[in-house]
């Protein structure tokens, strides 16, 4: 059996993605062979925090500093050649240069003698946005705006440095509590997905490996070139989910979700959830982000950020 790490729903072993929330299913097993190991002799893996399409994140102890950190270990089946390994190190090294308060700091990366790829980052003390939506949906409009503005700030910073996230989803957005008691967003996995998007001719297999068809832009689904507007499409889906408590496109078949991303117009959140008092301004922002034609979306994260204002939001 496979199990959703977020909602706990169990599926047959042949299923790969949770039809409720788009999470990559985890194979049920009693022992994780990596737990207790010291990756590269540096990081003792103590507990598994999450699992996604590219790999598994562990809480680890930095053996030299005696400090808790997070370590992401890349799935071995994605590392198909030395070319892929070199590309991963190149992409991860570029992402590690993103010094921004809303981007989780990557401070080490490498490959073990056994060929395992990994990177180490600051441990964020808090849930991811997927968990926040699941437990607190619908989110208050002011909280929604404050969270999104931190995401758009991070995206704008990265996009101006020619780094696109490519796998933006609630599970990659951590929500910690800042010193002032407010939500503090940290984005994970910037640009890393590109490593595994290249070099494969089979879109559906590749996308299922990365595991997030609910958040893929139309141009990603058709394997066309992408730019920062693809991240804004994914952010529109995230906003839609924050407003309505569910994604605009879902289906038991991941392939069917991809078709919907390409062809189907989203139902406005206020029509899907007429029982909720969804702010029309935020709904309009979500629907503009979800335009199939990238030229009709917000053209930059900065342009989107300038529209994210609510009366009384200080």
pLDDT cut 90: percent of the chain above it: 60
* Domain encompassing residue 1: 1-31
Residue range 30-88, pLDDT digits in tens: 578 889 999 999 999 999 998 877 789 999 999 999 999 999 998 888 787 787 788 78
User: Does 281 reside within a domain?
Assistant: yes
Q: Are residues 135 and 230 in the same domain?
A: yes
Q: Are residues 155 and 275 in the same domain?
A: yes
Q: Model's pTM, two decimal places?
A: 0.84
Output Rg (C-alpha) for the chain, integer angstroms. 19
- Closest C-alpha among 120, 105, 18 to residue 65: 120
List residues with catalytic annotation.
167
Residue range 7-32, pLDDT digits in tens: 667 777 667 777 767 777 776 655 78
Q: Are residues 166 and 283 in the same domain?
A: yes
Instruction: Tell me how far CA of residue 193 lies from CA of 4, 39, 40, 104, 214, in angstroms.
Output: 21, 22, 23, 16, 16
- Closest C-alpha among 19, 116, 8, 12 to residue 58: 116
- Closest C-alpha among 61, 42, 58, 62 to residue 50: 58
- pLDDT recorded at residue 282: 96
CB 117 within 8 A of CB 224: no
Q: Are residues 135 and 117 in the same domain?
A: no
- Closest C-alpha among 241, 216, 265 to residue 148: 241
CB 269 within 8 A of CB 239: no
75: tokens are 């799935």
Give me the phi and psi of 251, to 5 degrees please: -175, 150
CATH number at residue 71: 3.30.200.20
What is the tally of structural domains in the chain? 3
Q: Are residues 222 and 260 in the same domain?
A: yes
Q: Are residues 25 and 100 in the same domain?
A: no
Residue range 84-122, pLDDT digits in tens: 788 788 878 888 889 999 999 999 998 888 888 899 999
């Amino acid at each position: 059996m496979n199990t959703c790490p977020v909602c706990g729903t169990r599926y047959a072993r042949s299923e790969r993605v949770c039809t409720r929330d788009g999470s990559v299913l985890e194979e049920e097993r009693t022992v994780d062979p990596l737990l207790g190991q010291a990756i590269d002799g540096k990081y003792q893996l103590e507990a598994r925090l999450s699992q996604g399409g590219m790999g598994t994140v562990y809480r680890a102890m930095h053996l030299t500093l005696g400090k808790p950190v997070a370590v992401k270990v890349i799935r071995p089946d994605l590392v198909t050649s030395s070319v892929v390994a070199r590309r991963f190190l190149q992409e991860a090294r570029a992402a590690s240069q993103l010094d921004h308060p809303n981007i989780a700091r990557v401070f080490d990366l490498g490959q073990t003698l056994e060929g395992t790829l990994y990177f180490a980052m600051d441990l964020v003390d808090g849930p991811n946005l997927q968990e926040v939506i699941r437990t607190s949906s619908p989110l208050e409009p002011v909280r929604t705006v404050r969270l999104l503005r931190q995401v758009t700030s991070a995206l704008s910073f990265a996009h101006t440095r020619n780094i696109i996230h490519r796998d933006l989803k609630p599970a990659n957005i951590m929500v910690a509590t800042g010193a002032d008691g407010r939500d503090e967003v940290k984005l994970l996995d910037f640009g890393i997905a590109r490593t595994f998007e290249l070099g494969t001719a089979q879109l559906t297999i590749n996308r299922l490996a990365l595991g997030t068809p609910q958040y893929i832009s139309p141009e990603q689904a058709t394997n066309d070139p992408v730019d920062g507007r693809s991240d804004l499409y994914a952010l529109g889906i995230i906003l839609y989910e924050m407003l309505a408590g569910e994604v605009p496109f879902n289906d038991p078949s991941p392939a069917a979700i991809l078709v919907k991303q390409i062809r189907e117009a989203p139902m406005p959140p206020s029509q899907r959830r007429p029982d909720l008092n969804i702010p029309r301004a935020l709904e309009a922002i979500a629907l503009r982000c979800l335009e199939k034609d990238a030229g009709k979306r917000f053209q930059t994260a900065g342009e989107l950020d300038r529209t994210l204002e609510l009366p009384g939001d200080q």
